[in-house]
Structure formats: structure tokens, C-alpha cells
Structure 1
Amino acid sequence: MLAMTLATESKEVESEKVGPSGGPILELSAVAKNFGGVQVLKGVDLRVDKSELVFLIGPSGSGKSTLLRCCNHLELPTSGHILFEGVDIAGRGVNINTVRQKIGMVFQSFNLYQHMTALQNVTLALRKVAGKPRAEADAIGMAMLDRVEMAHRAGYYPSQLSGGQQQRVAIARTLALDPKVVLFDEPTSALDPELVDGVLQVMHDLRRSGMTMLVVSHEMRFARDAADRVVFMADGNIVEQGSPDRIFTAPSHPRTKNFLASVLR
């Protein structure tokens, strides 16, 4: 009964437009995802505009990470449509590898190759996927490492870097392919508390540069400070969305109120 109620309410969510008005770059329409007999996403509609930072919050198991992974087809939606710059990324003739270059993703576990240096990790996709010659790839890689303040660690292996430094290298790797959208899936959850601020500063800088970002995280302070829009999910539905100020100070849905009361204690 609760799931049915939320599904109905999700269709009636107030769609406040509070972020940049550059037009939609990513649009999800009735996106559902089943794992076996479990429906994890239940017909989600979501629009992300160019240069907008949209922050997804909600309890564990609400479908946030699955939604992100559907956005660049690391998971295939069971039904629904995902449009990137107006093109259905599951459409006939669409090269999903090209899509993934334009919709980059940063994971919570870094996923760096341990036998490669920071620079080699950043340049691997440039050479193997984008076909850049080594000299050009190295130049781009160094520029991206400099962007995340890791150029001085270009020759270091992941085992020689802190978790926060590894995550910044992972962000540089994503930026190297010149994406138009970056998806962040709990980018600080694997970090010790004292390492979190360095990663969040990189994300702040990306926001100021106009990067479009869809972020799943429990960093509520960052959401309040940096997001254009906060989206609350529960039980595979979008329950409520709006500006950070409204969501954090005057949420309208009881589920949102209860969730924020528990995480903001």
C-alpha cells in the first residue's frame, strides 16, 4: 500500500525549476528497473538541465545508485526511456561507448588499476577508447591531474596514495574524456572523514566551471551549499524535489521529513 501511495504521489511531485536554465541534457521518462522479481525503480521521471547539479538523497535501498547506473547503461532499464541531448541512449544505432564518454561516472571504490601510475590510469581510456597518441594523451592527463591538484603525484601508484588522492585521480580519469555530464555515486563514502573535504572541493570547482552533475551522496552539507536541486527518493520513486533551502528547511512530505530528521541529528 505504501509503495502504491508513493508511486501516486511521485507523479504529483512539485517540479520546481531552481537550477540553471540551459535546457535539458538528460531526461528520464518512466524508467523502471527490475532485478528478478524485485522492482527497484518504479517509473521514475527526472530532468537534468545543462550546468545543473542535482543531488539525490534518500535511504539505502531507495534506488539512487541504480538510477545513476541506468543513466549510462551500466544497468539496462527494464522499461522507460533515457534521453541524452534528446537522443534515446538505448536507441538503434547509438554507440553506448561513445555515450559513456559523454556521461562519465565516478564510483565510491575508485576502480584504479594498481599496477599503473596515476597518469597511466588517467590516460588509459584516452589511448584505448578515444584513440589518442601517447604524447597527446599524456598532455591531457597531466592537465586533468593538475585540475584536481594531483599533478605532483602523476608518477605514484594507487598504493602510494591516500583514499582521497585516489578518488581525485579517478575524477581526473573521468574528466579526461571531456564528458558533458558526470555521475557521482557516493564519491566520499569510502574515505576517512579527514579526506572528504579535498574531494568535495574538486566537486565544488567542477560546479563553478559549469559541469552538469548528478550526485548520490550522504554529504548533506555539500548538498545544501552546492546543489541547484535536491531530489528525495524512497522505495524506487521520486517522492519530493526542490531547492536545497526548501527541502532542508521546509520539506513537504513526511518521508522526507523523517529521513532528514534521522541524518541531520
Structure 2
Amino acid sequence: MIETTPSDAPRTEPMLDIRALRKTFGAVEVLKGIDLKVAQQELVFIIGPSGSGKSTFLRCMNRLEEPTDGSIFVDGVDLLHPKTDINAMRRRVGMVFQSFNLYPHMSALGNVTLALRKVLGKSAAEAEAIGMAALERVGLAERARYYPSQLSGGQQQRVAIARAIALEPRVMLFDEPTSALDPELAGSVLAVMRDLKNAGMTMVVVSHEMRFARDDADRVVFMEAGQVVEEGQPARLFGPDAHPRVRAFLTEITR
């Protein structure tokens, strides 16, 4: 297997380096040769209309979807090399989905510690200490013994984030993390994401939370029909000089 031990040394190369990425489903080409570099500690926000390939692109970044062609390097490791330990790499690329995917028969802490014990082989005591620290980071330490049915949707999503960050990933991917939540509950999840960014987490976010994109992203990428139409700092993509298609999309989504 290719060595996948993370380095603590400052990196000059991108944390995430994607080149000419393509994905087809049968005769349908969903991703049409996308290039994207994400620097360490950068928050990149991907926007675009439904069906543009955003979620497929995100899922390719940790090989939940297998790319048809192209290359993906995460923290300097070739994710698509046949000798790469993909399970080890997935621990370094945390992912949070629209659905919370929590085990209903396990407490919040149990959900967070499961992979720590079963995948990383941590003792029960060590896993619990790490899990409690992760829940503390998302503001849910006092709900550690609660079951998903006893938590709000926003709290469940924060447990899902705690589960991901407990594995100490190098990159966090978020696929519409607030789309199933009402605005008040979504705000608690966005606050946690903002805290992660401020703590230096590298993040790629697919979402329709345009205010979060405008206020907190380092860079915004607009996708349509499997291609990147435009990318740049939020001030430009949310301003009058953006590509006409970007302006039209933002006008429609903010009505």
C-alpha cells in the first residue's frame, strides 16, 4: 500500500488537487474534465443549479463515486493509485451528508465513537475521551447520552460532524448539510462549520446557503452541466462583474 501517514509540516502544494476529472454514468457524462485545487485551510464553496454535477464531484473526492478519468491528490497522496489504502484515506477526508446517517439505537456518543473503536482500534476509554471532545467542539457534550430521536435535526447533523472530526481528517466535505433543516436549526450547523474554518480545517462545501458562501468562503466555484463556469473570491462572484450565468443563478435562488 502507498504510505498515507499525514505530515504535520507546512505544505506548499495544494491539500486537494483534482485534474481533468471525468465521470460518466452509461452514456451520460456528468463531470466533463474538472480541475480544482484547494489550499490548506481554504474553504471552497461549490454552487450551481440542480443536476450540475456538484454532489457527484464531491463524492468523487473520497471515491464514494469512482471517477471515470482524471486524477485526485489528497494531502500529496494519489487517491486513484491502485496501491493507495483507500480506507485510510477516507479517514483523512471526512464527509457530512444531507441525511444524518446516525444509528438510531446508539447514543450521540456511541455514534461518534463507533469508528474510533471498530476502525482505529481505540480502547473504549480512549474512544470516549475523543468522542466527548468532538461533541464539545460542536456544542453537544451535554447531549452525549441522548439518542437521535431525542435530538433536533440540527443537533443530529452536529453529531454527524462530530463523528467526522473525531477521526481527525485533513479535509472536510459537506454535501448540502443544511438542506433538510429549517433556518434556525441550519444556523447552528453553519456556526459549527464556521468554527471549523476558523480552527484551520480545509473544507469543500456544496450548499445553497448563499449568505454563508458570501461571508465565509475563501473561494466560490460555480458549476453547470458538469463543468466549472467560473471561480473566484466571493466578492467577485456575488458582484456585478460575475459571469452572466452566475448572476442569473443567484438572482433566481435569492428570490
TM over 0.5: yes
Q: Is 89-98 or 118-127 further displaced after alignment?
A: 89-98
For 1:189, the equivalent position in structure 2 comes to 179
Q: Is the Cα contact below 8 Å between 1:55 and 1:229 reproduced in 2? A: yes
Distance change >3 Å, CA 67–CA 47, structure 1 → 2? same
For 1:50, the equivalent position in structure 2 comes to 40
Tell me how far apart the structure 1 counterparts of residues 82 and 25 of structure 2 sit (CA, whole Å): 24
Q: Name whichever structure is richer in helix by fraction.
A: 1
For 2:54, the equivalent position in structure 1 comes to 64
Q: CA deviation at 1:22?
A: 5.5
Q: Give the percent of matched residue pairs that are identical in Structure 1 and Structure 2.
A: 65
Tell me how far apart the structure 1 counterparts of residues 144 and 133 of structure 2 sit (CA, whole Å): 11
Runs of 4+ in 1 over 6 A off after TM superposition: none
Structure 1 counterpart of 2:195, from 205, 211, 214: 205
How many residues end up aligned between the 2 structures? Answer: 245
Q: CA deviation at 1:250?
A: 2.8
For 1:128, the equivalent position in structure 2 comes to 118
Report the 3-state secondary structure (helix = DSSP H, G, I; strand = E; otherwise coil) of the residue aligned with 1:249: coil
Q: How does 1:148-163 map to 2 (within 5 A)?
A: 148-163=138-153
Q: Is the Cα contact below 8 Å between 1:56 and 1:233 reproduced in 2? A: yes
What TM-score comes out, normalization by structure 2 length? 0.94
Corresponding position: 1:243 with 2:230: no
Unaligned runs of 5+ residues in structure 2 are 1-10
Aligned-partner residue type, residue 176 of structure 1: A
Tell me how far apart the structure 2 counterparts of residues 115 and 35 of structure 1 sit (CA, whole Å): 36
For 1:164, the equivalent position in structure 2 comes to 154
Tell me how far apart the structure 2 counterparts of residues 251 and 146 of structure 1 sit (CA, whole Å): 42
Aligned-partner residue type, residue 107 of structure 1: F
Q: Is the Cα contact below 8 Å between 1:114 and 1:159 reproduced in 2? A: yes
Tell me how far apart the structure 2 counterparts of residues 115 and 193 of structure 1 sit (CA, whole Å): 28
Corresponding position: 1:92 with 2:85: no
What do the CA deviations read for 1:48-97 (whole angstroms, capped 9, x no partner)? 00000000000000010000000000000000000112221010321101
Q: CA deviation at 1:255?
A: 1.3
Structure 2 counterpart of 1:106, from 79, 91, 96: 96
What TM-score comes out, normalization by structure 1 length? 0.91
